[in-house]
């Protein structure tokens, strides 16, 4: 396993600063219960949170439980989510996972990684989000934003998403694990952006190991480095 390029004291400061800037980070996906959270995360694959929220606003008013989703049916689900990419396969997954939840889990979303990963459209990242957001488990879901931040800053370099997740599990301070996922994803979404990181306004600029930090008027990183970061 690779090692963090940051020293333990720097890692502690890294998260202290993110926490100070955003003490109570929240998911930007809109949901009302563990089931709607699960559906929203499944729908978010290759879609933005903004797009998912627009699609699910009316969907969740109609169907906010697995049984209600089954009553809505595949065609009804499609009508609500057709603005999202891959909406046909997503509708099938949402319908089938609802069926499994009713059949095998009493209509409840299980608080168990293995059981979650058996659901259609649910992988390790989605399971981690549900466990963290719905049930307060200190899991860290690594998406493209977190993968980029961890490699670019040197916090948790890795060639694969799983490698980054495993390293984060070992280096993130215990008292920061609960919110680490949200701090890192929001930092990647709004500050440590793929094409032009906002280094001048970054709270961990002096800790970060990125060698091509931008200035206020700097051009984006060179194409080769940008591709590697993404």
pLDDT score, position 217: 57
Annotated binding site for [4Fe-4S] cluster: 192, 199, 202, 208
Residues 145-177 pLDDT 10s: 999 999 999 999 999 999 999 999 999 999 999
CB within 8 A of 75, min separation 6: which ones? Answer: none
Active site residue 143: yes
Active-site annotation holds for 125: yes
Residue-level pLDDT at 229? 34
Quote the distance between the C-alpha of residue 57 and its chain's center: 20
For 159-197, the DSSP string reads: SSHHHHHHHHHHHS-GGGHHHHHHHHHHHHHHTS-SSS-
Q: Do 139 and 131 meet the contact criterion of CB atoms below 8 Å apart?
A: yes
Contact 148, 142 (CB under 8 A): no
Q: Delineate the domains of the chain, giving CATH numbers in brackets.
A: 8-24+140-229 (1.10.1670.10), 34-133 (1.10.340.30)
- Indicate the SS3 state at residue 53: helix
Whole-angstrom distance, CA of residue 20 vs CA of residue 17: 5
Residue 95: alpha-carbon gap to chain centroid? 22
- Residue 55: is its pLDDT beyond 50? yes
- Residue 181: pLDDT over 50: yes
pLDDT of residue 71 exceeding 90: yes
Residue 226 has pLDDT above 90, yes or no: no
Which residue in 49, 90, 125, 227 is the catalytic one? 125
Task: Judge contact between 114 and 130, C-beta under 8 A.
Answer: no
Catalytic residue among 7, 92, 112, 143: 143
């Amino acid at each position: 396993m690779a090692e963090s390029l940051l020293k333990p004291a720097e890692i502690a400061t890294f998260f202290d600063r993110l926490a100070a800037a955003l003490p109570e980070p929240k998911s930007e996906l809109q949901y009302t219960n563990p089931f709607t959270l699960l559906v929203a995360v499944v729908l978010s694959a290759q879609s933005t949170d903004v797009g998912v929220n627009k699609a699910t606003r009316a969907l969740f008013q109609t169907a906010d439980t697995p049984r209600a989703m089954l009553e809505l049916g595949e065609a009804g689900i499609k009508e609500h989510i057709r603005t999202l990419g891959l909406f046909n396969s997503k509708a099938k997954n949402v319908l089938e996972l609802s069926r499994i939840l009713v059949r095998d889990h009493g209509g409840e979303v299980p608080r168990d990684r293995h059981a979650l990963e058996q659901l259609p459209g649910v992988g390790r990242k989605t399971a981690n989000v549900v466990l963290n957001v719905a049930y307060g488990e200190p899991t860290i879901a690594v998406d493209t934003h977190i993968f980029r931040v961890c490699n670019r800053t040197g916090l948790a370099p890795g060639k694969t998403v799983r490698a980054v997740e495993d390293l984060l599990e070992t280096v993130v301070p215990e008292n920061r694990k609960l919110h680490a996922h949200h701090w890192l994803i929001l930092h990647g979404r709004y500050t440590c952006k793929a094409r032009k990181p906002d280094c001048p306004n970054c709270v961990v600029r002096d800790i970060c190991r990125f060698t091509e930090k931008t200035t206020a008027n700097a051009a984006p990183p060179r194409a080769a480095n940008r591709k590697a970061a993404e």
